[in-house]
Amino acid sequence: MANPVILTIDDDPAVSRAVARDMRRRYGDRYRVVRAGSGPSALETLRELKLRGEQVAVLVADYRMPEMTGIEFLEAAMDLFPAARRVLLTAYADTDAAIDAINLVDLDHYLLKPWHPPEEKLYPVVDTLLDAWTATPEAAAAELRVVGHRWSAPSFAVRDFLARNLVPYRWLLADDPEGARLLNAAGATAEDVPVVIAPDGRHLSHPTEADLATLVGLRVAPAEEFYDLVVVGGGPAGLGAAVYGASEGLRTVLVERRATGGQAGQSSRIENYLGFPEGVSGAQLTDRARRQALKFGAELLTTRDVTGLTDAGSARLLTFGDGSTIAAHAVVLATGVSYRVLDAPGLAELTGRGVFYGSTATEAPSCVDQEVYIVGGANSAGQAAVHFSRYATRVHLLIRGADLTASMSRYLIDQLDRNDRVVVHPHTVVAAGSGGEHLERLTLADGRTGETREVDASWLFIFIGAQPRTDWLDGVLVRDERGFVVTGPDLVAGGRRPPGWPLARDPYHLETSLPGVFAAGDVRAESVKRVASAVGEGAMAVSLVHRYLESQ
């Protein structure tokens, strides 16, 4: 495979030659430095690289170009190579525009002209970006291919796992000529799909998530047996705790059951998160947080299901699903919540075949010119409706109440009101679903009268309820009637500490009924269900961990 590409774009020939020269001097032995004289020609180059299956590591674009600005180019380039690191080359007078671009195109860095000496002003920046890019799954699995059936729940599960872990892949249908050729080369048949084929020729049939994680280079086993801090859950709260724990010198490991980001990682656009006035996708926010945690030295384990928590004296022992264990001085529980299952006849059998829980980015392009049904009235459902409206002819948002005001942010309600492709159906529930190979029909019911009607539908996305995954903590920690973990002052009833509490002090604010174990984010009882508050609680939990460790 050809060396990864560093692409530079500048309409000034002298500047273009200079930046390419300095890049080749430092990186020419490992990377292919390609330069372009305009945004359109650079996009054409990227399209050719994409078709040839080559990798692009870094994009360096000048801000002021006549046909297409550097910001416009970088925004368009994200669709072709989303994992490539993006740098804006700018003059001092344009630094405000560069700062704005950090949010607009998820810019990684901006460089001022002139960048001399490059040893001080260019290479340290590019070194860091290349290290970050090399650590991404794309660098290890640029040519990963998945062969499967269109309406297959196992095929969907593979694609969804890869997408949520930000692993790029090429999707091929088993009955297409190229898909059939790949199956033949792998010694497999259409009955063996999904089949995942790695760049080095290794292939897996019906892989487990752990198999997939290993294949694409995600860490699945801890490097040590004992840590200062174990964070359970990789959503915003867990990532926040991992970043702050590792940055403050704690030996930190984050354990995630499926994919970092949690429900927030599936959001197509989060527009009310502080510091991102243009909004940021859940995937972008997750990628940045994950890279930040790794930069500070945290370990991130994927596909490890924690099934037990034990008080082991001065340590806290966590048990994995396979029976292995890991221990730490302190634990932060940030397992979040999952969507409730919609209990209507026919839906369970069609899950992954037209019925989906949460917003699945893998399916949106397949909804072009079709009608999509979404169940739910909170922000996640509203964000999904906006996202799918870019593809579908019509998005039907089904809600139990009379309107959205009780459960959705005002900015989202206003967006939906202005969107001609989104129709809100109040007092409407899904009573049943049916179909053969995939979902074909829905039965909708009026929640007030019980009157039903049938509609043709191939796509149903469900965003209902918040269900904590805390059954494994039964009898270990105090939980409320819904399963959320009770913490801090809420554990002290009538001046009495929780049963079995061994210390002379009251539990700290986010501390659970087991000293040294803290809960942050959506899994905590009475928490605010927002990304910003989850990140804040993750950071706060680490400060309380320090207080706990100092008292031991």
Residue with tokens 């892989």: 207
What's residue 95's pLDDT?
67
Q: Tell whether the model's pLDDT for residue 278 goes beyond 80.
A: no
pLDDT in tens, 458-512: 999 999 977 898 999 999 999 999 999 999 999 998 889 999 999 999 999 999 9
Give the burial string for 471-498 (b: 16+ CB within 10 Å, else e). Answer: ebbeebbbbeeebbbbbbebbeeeeebb
Share of residues in the chain with pLDDT > 70 (%): 95
Q: Tell whether the model's pLDDT for residue 303 goes beyond 90.
A: yes
Is the domain of 198 the same as that of 280?
Answer: no
Report how far apart, in Å, the C-alpha atoms of 306 and of each of 45, 285, 479 are.
46, 25, 17
Length of the chain: 552
Q: Tell whether the model's pLDDT for residue 178 goes beyond 90.
A: no
Is the domain of 332 the same as that of 364?
Answer: no
| Tokens representing residue 4 in the block | 């990864």
Q: How many domains is the chain built from? A: 4
Closest listed residue to residue 217, CA positions, set 167, 145, 259, 288:
167
Closest listed residue to residue 487, CA positions, set 476, 498, 496, 472:
498
Rounded CA-CA distance 165/155 in Å is: 16
Q: What is the pTM of this model?
A: 0.77
State the average pLDDT for the chain.
90
Is the domain of 410 the same as that of 317?
Answer: no
What's residue 412's pLDDT?
94
**CB neighbour class for 500 (10 Å; exposed up to 12, middle 13-18, buried from 19):** exposed
Residues 542-548, mean pLDDT to the nearest whole number: 97
pLDDT in tens, 26-68: 999 999 999 999 999 999 998 888 766 688 999 999 988 888 9
Considering the domain boundaries, does residue 221 fall inside one?
Answer: no
Q: At what angle do helices 123-134 and 13-27 cross, to 10 degrees?
A: 60
Rounded CA-CA distance 546/534 in Å is: 19
Rounded CA-CA distance 550/187 in Å is: 59
Closest listed residue to residue 308, CA positions, set 473, 480, 444:
473
In this structure, the strands spanning 5-9 and 452-456 are: unpaired
What's residue 102's pLDDT?
63
Is the domain of 21 the same as that of 77?
Answer: yes
Q: At what angle do helices 410-418 and 379-388 cross, to 10 degrees?
A: 30
Last residue of a domain, one of 80, 112, 139: 139
Considering the domain boundaries, does residue 354 fall inside one?
Answer: yes
pLDDT in tens, 244-253: 999 999 999 9
Report how far apart, in Å, the C-alpha atoms of 217 and of each of 51, 58, 91, 134, 154 are.
24, 21, 39, 11, 21
Considering the domain boundaries, does residue 352 fall inside one?
Answer: yes
| Tokens representing residue 132 in the block | 């970050």
Rounded CA-CA distance 153/310 in Å is: 36
Using 50, 70 and 90 to split pLDDT, how confident is the model at 141? very low
- SS3 state of residue 326: strand
Give the domain range for residue 171. Answer: 144-216
Bridge partner residues of 315 (DSSP): 312
State yes or no: cis peptide before 515, omega within 30 of 0: no
Rounded CA-CA distance 203/197 in Å is: 4
| Tokens representing residue 458 in the block | 């191939």
Last residue of a domain, one of 216, 243, 258: 216
Closest listed residue to residue 153, CA positions, set 441, 351, 303, 439:
351
- Would you list the DSSP string of 460-499? EEE----EE--GGGTTTS-B-TTSPBP-GGGG-BTTBPPT
Which of the residue ranges 231-235, 243-247, 325-329, 466-470 would you say has the lowest mean pLDDT? Answer: 466-470
Q: In sequence order, what are the residues at sequence separation of 6 or more whose Cβ sits closer than 8 angstroms to the Cβ of residue 394? A: 371, 372, 421, 422, 423
CA 116 to chain centre: 37
Considering the domain boundaries, does residue 177 fall inside one?
Answer: yes
Closest listed residue to residue 26, CA positions, set 115, 96, 142:
115
Rounded CA-CA distance 208/161 in Å is: 10
Closest listed residue to residue 309, CA positions, set 470, 160, 524:
470
State yes or no: cis peptide before 117, omega within 30 of 0: yes
158 in Cβ contact with 148 (< 8 Å) = yes
CATH number of the CATH domain containing 103 = 3.40.50.2300
Rounded CA-CA distance 432/442 in Å is: 6
Is the domain of 321 the same as that of 355?
Answer: no
What's residue 147's pLDDT?
94
Closest listed residue to residue 429, CA positions, set 466, 463, 474, 398:
398
Is the domain of 426 the same as that of 500?
Answer: no
Share of residues in the chain with pLDDT > 90 (%): 67
Considering the domain boundaries, does residue 519 fall inside one?
Answer: yes
What's residue 98's pLDDT?
62
Last residue of a domain, one of 182, 216, 250: 216
Rounded CA-CA distance 398/384 in Å is: 12
pLDDT in tens, 206-215: 999 999 999 9
Q: Tell whether the model's pLDDT for residue 173 goes beyond 90.
A: yes
Considering the domain boundaries, does residue 471 fall inside one?
Answer: yes
pLDDT in tens, 342-368: 999 999 999 999 999 986 667 888 898
Is the domain of 360 the same as that of 315?
Answer: no
429 in Cβ contact with 345 (< 8 Å) = no
CATH number of the CATH domain containing 527 = 3.50.50.60
Considering the domain boundaries, does residue 343 fall inside one?
Answer: no
Is the domain of 157 the same as that of 133?
Answer: no
What's residue 144's pLDDT?
87
In single-letter form, the type of residue at position 127 comes to D
Residue with tokens 């918040």: 466
Closest listed residue to residue 233, CA positions, set 272, 185, 286:
286
What's residue 140's pLDDT?
47
Is the domain of 239 the same as that of 387?
Answer: no
CATH number of the CATH domain containing 191 = 3.40.30.10
pLDDT in tens, 79-91: 778 889 999 888 7
What's residue 101's pLDDT?
62
Considering the domain boundaries, does residue 272 fall inside one?
Answer: yes
Is the domain of 322 the same as that of 393?
Answer: no
Rounded CA-CA distance 425/461 in Å is: 15
In single-letter form, the type of residue at position 500 comes to G
Is the domain of 26 the same as that of 129?
Answer: yes
| Tokens representing residue 2 in the block | 């050809």
- SS3 state of residue 331: strand
What's residue 271's pLDDT?
83
Neighbour tally for 206: CB within 10 Å: 14
Q: Tell whether the model's pLDDT for residue 320 goes beyond 50.
A: yes
- SS3 state of residue 350: helix
Using 50, 70 and 90 to split pLDDT, how confident is the model at 153? very high
Is the domain of 207 the same as that of 291?
Answer: no
Bridge partner residues of 517 (DSSP): 331
pLDDT in tens, 370-420: 999 999 999 999 999 999 998 999 999 999 999 999 889 999 999 999 999
**Choice between 99 and 152, residue whose per-residue pLDDT is larger:** 152
What's residue 349's pLDDT?
95
